[in-house]
Amino acid sequence: MARLEPSDDRRDTDRLMAALVAVGALAFAASPLLSPGFNGFTPGQFPVPQTDPPVQPAGYAFAIWGLIYLWLIAGAVFGLVRRDADPAWRAMRPPLLLSLAVGAAWIPVANLSPVWATALIWVMLAGAILALMRAGPSDRPWMRSPVAFYAGWLTAASCVALGMVLAGQGILDMQIAALAMIALALAIALAVLALRPDAPEFAVSVIWALAGIIAANAAPLNLAVVILAAAGIVLLIWQAWRGAARDY
């Protein structure tokens, strides 16, 4: 049998990774259908029950997952069919696969343990942000955009989960936890946008989460949370606009 040249080995590895990312995206999207589902952490999952925590967005905000699932699948399938051995996609795929694989198992863990679920969602976030940092400039609607949109929502979701755990374990008061985690989400988001100013889709999904937090805290009015979230939206719009101006 003839020995494969290194270039052939590389192409085979790229094709395998492209296939695994597509399978991972499909498994991630199917996870809510293959499990009891997840409607948020319940108050009874914490030593200090979390009833209407101010860090959590209004329920409608979580509908964004439908778009995230579809866009990730579309991008992964495009990458498999049209860019399976394209070197421009190579660096992004391993961290994205890690994030998707952990995400596919996240819901069963979340229904059992908020603490472990929070640890896992930060792993998902790390993988998604690293994938975004490695995403190339080509095929923007299929490669950079869906990953940026996914990473932005995970930035908010990770901080929401951590805020609920900190308050639920009695480490912080609910109000302080909400303010601290909104500030943390903004710090991460602004840092990511500074490094990838060509990814305004990241800002869009974080802004969506902040708008959901404002809606959840509008009645009764939680002024401090609403002001911080609104200020965050303004900052993110400004940062995304600056990045878009440079990009184009």
- Mind listing the pLDDT tens digit for each residue in 150-161? 999 999 999 999
108 within domain boundaries: yes
- pLDDT by residue (tens digit) across 152-188? 999 999 999 999 999 999 999 999 999 999 999 999 9
Its domain, for residue 187, covers 19-31+54-247
Our count of domains for the chain comes to 1
10 is a domain residue: no
Is residue 72 in some structural domain? yes
Residue 211: inside a domain? yes
Determine, yes or no, domain membership for 153.
yes
Residue 73 within any structural domain of the chain = yes
Q: Please state the rounded mean pLDDT for residues 191-204.
A: 96
Query: pLDDT at position 1, please?
Result: 42
> Does 179 reside within a domain?
yes
**Mean pLDDT computed over every residue of the chain:** 93
**Cis omega (within 30 of 0) for bond into 220:** yes
Residue 4's pLDDT band, with cuts at 50, 70 and 90, is: very low
What would the two tokens of residue 30 be? 């199917």
d(CA 186, CA 13) in angstroms, rounded, equals 37
SS3 assignment for 147-212: HHHHHHHHHHHHHHHHHHHHHHCCCCCHHHHHHHHHHHHHHHHHHHHHHCCCCHHHHHHHHHHHHH
Question: Model confidence over 96-155: pLDDT tens digits?
Answer: 999 999 999 999 999 999 999 999 999 999 999 999 999 998 899 999 999 999 999 999
Position 219 in a domain: yes
